[in-house]
Amino acid sequence: MSATRRGDSSVKQIVGLFLFILSSIVNTAYAACSVSALPNFEFGLEVESFMAQSQMLTTNSYADIDCNRSLELGLLPRANLRVQAAQSVNGFVMRNILGDEVAYQISPDPNFSVALVTVGDEVMVTDANLLSIVSGGNLRLPLWARTNTANLSEGLYTDSILLHFRGRFCDLSVTTICLNPEYLDIQVSVQLQLGIEKACVIDVPDTLDLGQAADVQDVSVTDLPISVKCTTRQNFQISAGLGLHAAQNRRLANGEGSFIDYEIWQPNNAERLSSETPLAGNGTGFFQTFNAQVEVIDNGTIPEVGAYSDQVVVTVSF
C-alpha cells in the first residue's frame, strides 16, 4: 500500500508541474513592444546631379524597439524579427514635381545582402552584429537606404513608405513554447528625401590650329568643337569672349604689332558667338558637342609673315 501511494504521489507531482507551465503560458497576458518614430532617410539636399548619375547614394536611419523587458542581443535568434515594406506612396521611387524619379532600396545590412526593393518585400534580421542596445534597454535596428543611379533633373525628390515590424521576444524559448512573450507587430511611416542641384561642365580644345597659308584668303574655316554636359532639362547658354586683342573684330596677333581679323560663328554660320549672342541649349545629362566655326577675315591689309595667336574664354551659363 505504501509503495502504491508513493507512485501516486510521484505521478501527481509530474502532472502538477506540467499543468503549472501550461497554465503560465495560457494565462499570461501578451505584452506588446513598440517602435519609435524613425528619423527620415536624408540623402542630402544639395547633391549634384552628376553624382546621382554616376554612383549610388547611401544614407541611414534606425528603429528603436521598446518592450517592457530589457532586451538583449542574445534574444535575437528566437525573436523572428522581420521588416516588411507595407506601402509606398510612389511605388518605391522618389519623385520630383516634374515626374522624374529614382528607385531605392532599404536594408538592415549596410552591405545590402538582403533588401526591400518593392512593396510586399520582407527581410528577416538574423545577425545580432547589426543591432545594438541603447539607453533604457531598447533594441536599435539600423536601416540603410541607397538609390539606384539615375539621370535626374533639378529638384526635391521624395517618397513616404510604411514599414511593418514583426517579432517575438521570450524569456525562454523551447521548441514551440515561449515564456513571457512580448510581441512586436506595428507599422511605422518614414520619409525619404533627396535634393538634386543643377550642374554643367564644358570641354574645349586647349589649342585650335588654323593651319598655314600664304594669304589670309587661303585659310579654311575651322571647326571649334565645344562639348557641354548639363543636368537633364536644364537650359544653358554657350558664349565666347572677345579674346586678348579685339578691336572692332576679334584679332590674332603676332606679338610685334601686326594683326589678322577673325570671327567665331555659331554652328552653321548662324550668328556670331559672343556674350551678346550666345548659343542656347537644353541639358540631357550627357555630353553634347556643338561645332562653332572659326573664320579668318580678309580686311584688305597684308599681314607680316609669322605666327599669329589669340586666347579666348568659352563659357557655359546655366
At 139 the pLDDT is 86
CA angle, 301 as apex, 296 and 307 as ends, to 5°? 55
- Specify whether 185 is located in the same domain as 79: yes
- Specify whether 180 is located in the same domain as 239: no
Domain span at residue 311? Answer: 200-317
- Specify whether 230 is located in the same domain as 189: no
How large a percentage of the chain has pLDDT more than 90? 69
- Specify whether 237 is located in the same domain as 180: no
**Number of domains, the chain:** 2
At 72 the pLDDT is 62
Residue in this structure with the C-alpha cell 527581410, named with its chain if needed: 123
11, part of any domain: no
Residue 18 pLDDT greater than 80, yes or no: no
Choice among 14-23, 196-205, 255-264, 291-300 with the minimum mean pLDDT = 14-23
- Specify whether 165 is located in the same domain as 277: no
Residue 177: pLDDT band by 50, 70, 90 thresholds? low
CATH at 150: 2.60.40.1090
- Specify whether 210 is located in the same domain as 312: yes
10, part of any domain: no
Choice among 68-77, 95-104, 129-138 with the minimum mean pLDDT = 68-77
70, part of any domain: yes
16, part of any domain: no
1, part of any domain: no
Q: Which of 146, 176, 197 is the last residue of a domain?
A: 197
Residue 202 pLDDT greater than 60, yes or no: yes
- Specify whether 255 is located in the same domain as 112: no
22, part of any domain: no
108 CB contacts (<8 Å, ≥6 apart)?
A: 83, 114, 123, 125, 130, 141, 142, 143, 144
- 304 or 22, higher pLDDT: 304
Q: Which three cell numbers stand for residue 71?
A: 532586451
Angstrom distance (rounded) from CA 31 to CA 15: 28
- Specify whether 188 is located in the same domain as 229: no
Q: Which of 197, 214, 235 is the last residue of a domain?
A: 197
Angstrom distance (rounded) from CA 99 to CA 285: 16
- 43 or 8, higher pLDDT: 43
126, part of any domain: yes
Angstrom distance (rounded) from CA 12 to CA 260: 118
At 9 the pLDDT is 39
Arithmetic mean of pLDDT, 5-19: 37
Question: What pLDDT digit, counting tens, does each position of 43-67 carry?
Answer: 999 999 999 999 999 999 999 998 8
This prediction's pTM: 0.82
- 221 or 300, higher pLDDT: 221
- Specify whether 57 is located in the same domain as 101: yes
Paired strand residues for 46: none
Q: Which of 197, 215, 242 is the last residue of a domain?
A: 197
- 134 or 285, higher pLDDT: 285
Give just the sign of the alpha carbon dihedral 113, 174, 166, 85: positive
Residue 233: pLDDT band by 50, 70, 90 thresholds? very high
Angstrom distance (rounded) from CA 143 to CA 121: 15
- Specify whether 124 is located in the same domain as 204: no
- Specify whether 48 is located in the same domain as 127: yes
- Specify whether 90 is located in the same domain as 124: yes
- 3-state SS, one letter per residue, for the chain: CHHHHHHHHHHHHHHHHHHHHHHHHHHCCCEEEEECCCCCEECCCCEEHHHHHHCCCEEEEEEEEECCCCCCHHHHHHHCCEEEEEEECCCCEEECCCCCEEEEEEECCCCCCCCECCCCCEEECCCHHHCEEEHHHEEEEEEEEEECCCCCCCEEEEEEEEEEEEEEECCEEECCEEECCEEEEEEEEEEEEEEEECCEEEECCCCCCCCCCCCHHHCCCEEEEEEEEECCCCEEEEEECCCCCCCCCEEEECCCCCEEEEEEECHHHCCECCCCCCEEEECCCCEEEEEEEEEECCCCCCCCCCCCECCCCEEEEC
At 175 the pLDDT is 56
Q: Are 108 and 125 in contact (CB under 8 A)?
A: yes
Arithmetic mean of pLDDT, 221-238: 98
Residue 133 pLDDT greater than 50, yes or no: yes
Arithmetic mean of pLDDT, 93-111: 98
